[in-house]
Amino acid sequence: MKNKKLVAGLIVAMLLVTVSGVFAQQQLYIPLISKGFQHQFWQAVKQGAEQAAKDYKVTITFEGPESETMVDKQIDMLSAALAKKPAALGFAALDSKAALPLLQKAKAANIPVIAFDSGVDSDIPLTTCATDNVAAAAYAADMMAKLINNEGEVAVIVHDQTSRTGIDRRDGFVNRIKAKYPKIKVVDVQYGAGDHLKSTDLAKAIIQAHPNLKGFFGANEGSAIGVMNGVKEMKKIGKIVVIGYDSGAQQIAAIKAGEMNGAITQNPVGIGYKTVECAVKALKGEKFPKVVDTGFYYYDKTNIDDPKIKAVLYQ
């Protein structure tokens, strides 16, 4: 009788371990809601997230709207992800305020939120895995100043004025110019929604309005490609300095061809990896700094083939 009870007890214990193991596996679902899917940058972020998911043995999904103007669609994606009761959440906000009600729900449900690439105006995210966009854009301003001999008119095309990345890159560049280079004037700042066609039209209009323009800063992949195309179509290659942000095949080709002077590259694979890693660690109760800085580099024709730079370019 004792043996039967012992066996029965062991069976129950094994079942409980099995059930709890399955439950734990089910809980380690971590959706990542991105700002977009159309640029190579996001594909590289996804690649990093997938590698971390493999290393940490968790299940992730990675999705974003077709365009970085689709705030409502991103909010719908966030809502659907939360409805699946994930263990944790990665979120790159298109609008740093629009998602707050849903993020409050996540907090109330004890779902750790890790922001990536673009933070939100809230302390709900435990950290933000991102480039220091203010510092990176300020460095772009320094390189611009150097290339135009510290004087002249420059303009900026940014992907948006609602995301943290858009705000920080715009302000990082503009504020550095104002603070450090009194003979350089930022004559225009426009917003092209990260769309290279719209950014091309904006660039051409700015060049027409400011015939003495010496430099252009494009604050993300689509903006930079649009600026380059606008400068090319206006036959101003070599006359207007173009500095971009991000990389991707078109920007890399443009820099090698001398059509773009240089650009800031982030570490998108690192951003994706760190987002998932932090989400897993958050579930274990670990604490983080406000920002997990994933780094940036400036690249141009002189260093584009450097192994350290090639490792963070994506195409």
Model confidence pLDDT, tens digit, residues 134-186: 999 999 999 999 999 999 999 999 999 989 899 999 999 999 999 999 999 99
| Predicted pLDDT at 97 | 87
Domain tally, the chain: 2
Residues whose CB is less than 8 angstroms from the CB of residue 251 and which lie 6 or more positions away in sequence, other chains included: 221, 224, 225, 228, 244, 260, 263
- Residue 53 and residue 115 share a domain: yes
Do 30 and 50 form a contact (C-beta atoms < 8 A)?
no
Residues 255 and 153 in one domain: yes
Q: What is the DSSP string of 218-283?
A: E-SHHHHHHHHHHHHHTT-BTTBEEEEES--HHHHHHHHHTSS-EEEE--HHHHHHHHHHHHHHHH
- The runs of H, that is alpha helices, within 39-189 are 40-56, 71-83, 100-108, 133-147, 164-180
Confidence of residue 27 (pLDDT cuts 50, 70, 90): low
Q: Are residues 168 and 119 in the same domain?
A: no
Helix axes 71-83, 100-108, angle to 10 degrees: 10
CATH number at residue 282: 3.40.50.2300
The alpha carbon dihedral of 193, 276, 74, 120 has a sign of negative
Residue 279 pLDDT exceeds 60 = yes
Q: Give me the percent of the chain exceeding a pLDDT of 70.
A: 91
- Asked if residue 202 and residue 279 are part of one domain, the reply reads no
Note whether 108 and 189 are same-domain residues. no
pLDDT at 19 over 70: no
Q: Is the pLDDT of residue 120 over 50?
A: yes
- Determine the pLDDT at residue 3: 52
Q: Which two tokens stand for residue 292?
A: 């997990």
Q: Is the pLDDT of residue 96 over 90?
A: no
Whole-number pLDDT of residue 314: 81
Same domain, yes or no: 71 and 124: yes
Residues 278 and 234 in one domain: no
| Domain identity same for 141 and 95 | no
Residues 122 and 52 in one domain: yes
Q: Are residues 167 and 142 in the same domain?
A: yes
**Picking from 1-5, 70-74, 295-299, which range would have the lowest pLDDT averaged per residue?**
1-5
Sheet holding 262-265, edge to edge: 184-191, 152-158, 213-218, 241-245, 262-265, 297-299
Q: Can you tell me whether residue 134 is helix, strand or coil?
A: helix
Q: Answer whether residue 11 shows pLDDT above 60.
A: no
8 vs 146: CA distance, rounded Å: 78
End-to-end CA distance of the chain: 69
Q: Which two tokens stand for residue 13?
A: 């214990």
Q: What is the mean pLDDT of residues 252-261?
A: 96
Task: Specify the higher pLDDT residue, 62 or 25.
Answer: 62
> Taking 90 as the threshold, does the pLDDT of residue 20 lie above it?
no
Claim to verify: residue 110 and residue 221 sit in the same structural domain: no
Domain containing 189 equals 133-265
274 CB-near residues (< 8 Å, 6+ apart): 48, 52, 116, 129, 292, 294
306 located within any domain: no
30 domain residue, yes or no:
yes
Query: Phi/psi at 210 (nearest 5 deg)?
Result: -130, 80
Domain assignment present for residue 305? The answer is no
Q: Would residue 315 count as lying in a domain? A: no
> Is 57 domain-assigned?
yes
Same domain, 68 and 123: yes
313: in domain: no
Residue 193 lies in a domain: yes
Write the CB contacts of 205 (distance below 8 Å, at least 6 apart in sequence): none
* Structure confidence at residue 40 (pLDDT): 85
Is residue 101 assigned to a domain?
A: yes
Across the beta sheet with 113-116, what order do the strands follow? 59-63, 29-33, 89-91, 113-116, 127-130, 291-293
